[in-house]
Amino acid sequence: MVRPTMEDVALRAGVSRALVSLVMRGSPKVSELRRSAVLKAAEELGYSPHAMARSLASRTSTVLGVMVSDLHNAFFAEVVDGIDEVAREQGFDVIINTGGRSPARERRALESLLSFRPAGLILLSPVVPATAIGKAAEQLPVVLVARSSRVSDVDTVNDDGEVGARLAVDHLVSLGHQRIAHLDGGEGTQAGPRRRGYVAAMEAHGLVPQVVSSEYTDAAGARAIRSLITSDALPTAILSCNDFNAVGAISALEDAGLRVPHDVSVVGYDNTSLAALRHVSLTTIDQPRAEFGRLAADALLQRVREERTEPVRHLLTPSLVVRSTTAPPGGPR
C-alpha cells in the first residue's frame, strides 16, 4: 500500500530526481540512454507521478473541475462527454462532483472542487446563488453551462430557447395547425426563453398564444392536459417545455381516448434518449449537448492559458427532430 516516489525511481535508475522529473514530463533535453533507463526503473517499480505534489510544486494544475447539478439527468452526461473530449485532447484531467439539485449540497461540492485548486471550473446548470459563483470566479476561470448569468468574468454556454420554440411552432404551423398551446416550465431554467420564443412565433404567424402553466415533469404534463380537456380548451397541437412533460401529456391524451398525432400533435424539448425510444418516438427540439461541453471546455482552457480575459457568451442554435408525434390536424394524410 505504499507507492514509490521519484526518489526511488532515481535511485534505481542511477540518476538524479530532477532527471526523472524531466523524463516524466517528456522533456526533449534528456539523452535516449537515460530516458530508457528511467522508464525501465519506473515500470519495474510501478511508479506513476503524484498529481497533487506535482501541482503543488508547479503552482499549476491540469485538472478541470466539473460540477453537475443533477447526475440523474442524461442531458449532463452528454455535455460531460464533450468536455471530456476536449480536455483529454489538451492533456487535462476532469474531475466531477455533484450537487444533487440542492443549493446546500452544491455549495459543498463547489468548496470541495475548489480545494483541489483546479485550473478552472465548469458548472452545469448550477442552482447556487450568483454570489457564490462570483466568489469562485475571483479565484479561477469559471464557465457556466445551461444557466445564464450577469456575473462578469464568467463565460456562459446556452442554447437559444427562443429559436428552439420558434422552430417547433413553425413546424406545427407548416403542418396546418393554428391552435397551438404551450405547456410552460414555470420557474425552471430556460423556461423563460422558450415561453418568449413560443409567444413571439405565434404572434409572428398571426395566431393567439395559449400558455398553460406547467412544470418539467411527466406528472405536470398530464395534469396540464387534463385541465385543458376539462375546460374544453384543448388545442390541436401542444408544445411542451421538455420531453418528460410531453410524455406525460401524451399519456393523459391517450387516457382521454385521444390519439397522438391523429387528434393532437405533441412536440417536446431536449431530445433526450427517452424521445428516441420507438415506444415514444417524440418530435422534439434537439440541443447540441456535446457541443455545449466542447465549447465550455474550449472557453475555459482559453482563460486558463490566459489567451482571453473578456467574457464570452455562447448561444447555440437548436434544431428540430421530427418523429411520430406530429402530423397535420386530423391525422396523417
Partner DNA sequence: TTACAGCATTAGAGCGCTCCAACCAATAGA
Partner DNA sequence: TCTATTGGTTGGAGCGCTCTAATGCTGTAA
Q: What does the binding site for its own copies look like in residue numbers (CB under 8 A)?
A: 1, 3, 46, 48-53, 55-56, 70-72, 74, 76-78, 80-81, 84, 88, 93-98, 100, 108, 111-112, 114-117, 135, 138-140, 218-219, 222, 244, 247-248, 250-251, 254, 273-274, 277-280
Q: For residues 49 and 328, which CB has a smaller minimum distance to its own copies in the complex? A: 49
Q: For residues 26 and 257, which CB has a smaller minimum distance to DNA in the complex? A: 26
CA distance 64 to 158: 20
Q: For residues 193 and 221, which CB has a smaller minimum distance to its own copies in the complex? A: 221
| Interacting partner of 189 out of DNA, its own copies, none (Cβ under 5 to 8 A depending on kind) | none
Residue 125's closest CA among 237, 23, 242? Answer: 242
Cβ–Cβ contacts within 10 Å for residue 236, how many?
Answer: 19
Q: For residues 3 and 308, which CB has a smaller minimum distance to its own copies in the complex? A: 3
Pairing of strands 180-184, 154-159: unpaired
Q: Which of 15, 183, 225, 247 binds DNA (CB under 7 A)?
A: 15
Cβ–Cβ contacts within 10 Å for residue 245, how many?
Answer: 32
Which residues in the 28-67 window bind DNA by CB under 7 A? 28-31, 33-34, 49-50, 53-54, 56-60
Q: For residues 40 and 72, which CB has a smaller minimum distance to its own copies in the complex? A: 72
Strand order across the beta sheet in which 237-240 lies: 210-213, 180-184, 237-240, 265-267
| Interacting partner of 5 out of DNA, its own copies, none (Cβ under 5 to 8 A depending on kind) | DNA
Which residues in the 129-188 window bind DNA by CB under 7 A? none
The residues, ordered by sequence, that sit 6+ positions from 85 with a Cβ below 8 Å of its Cβ are: 290, 293, 294, 297
CA distance 212 to 224: 7
CA distance 276 to 326: 14
Residue length, the chain? 333
Least distance from DNA to the Cβ atom of residue 154, Å: 24
| Interacting partner of 100 out of its own copies, DNA, none (Cβ under 5 to 8 A depending on kind) | its own copies
- Please state whether the peptide bond connecting residue 318 to the residue before it is cis, i.e. omega within 30 degrees of 0: no
Whole-number Cα distances in Å, 290 to 116, 142, 144, 281, 326: 25, 18, 15, 22, 26
Total number of residues that touch DNA (CB under 7 A):
27
| Interacting partner of 29 out of its own copies, DNA, none (Cβ under 5 to 8 A depending on kind) | DNA
Is residue 208 within the footprint of DNA (CB under 7 A)?
Answer: no
Is residue 19 within the footprint of DNA (CB under 7 A)?
Answer: yes
| Interacting partner of 280 out of its own copies, DNA, none (Cβ under 5 to 8 A depending on kind) | its own copies
Q: For residues 161 and 293, which CB has a smaller minimum distance to its own copies in the complex? A: 293
95 in Cβ contact with 39 (< 8 Å) = no
3-state secondary structure of 183: strand
Q: For residues 35 and 147, which CB has a smaller minimum distance to DNA in the complex? A: 35
Max intra-chain CA distance, the chain:
86
Binding residues for DNA (CB under 7 A):
5-7, 15-19, 21-22, 24-25, 28-31, 33-34, 49-50, 53-54, 56-60
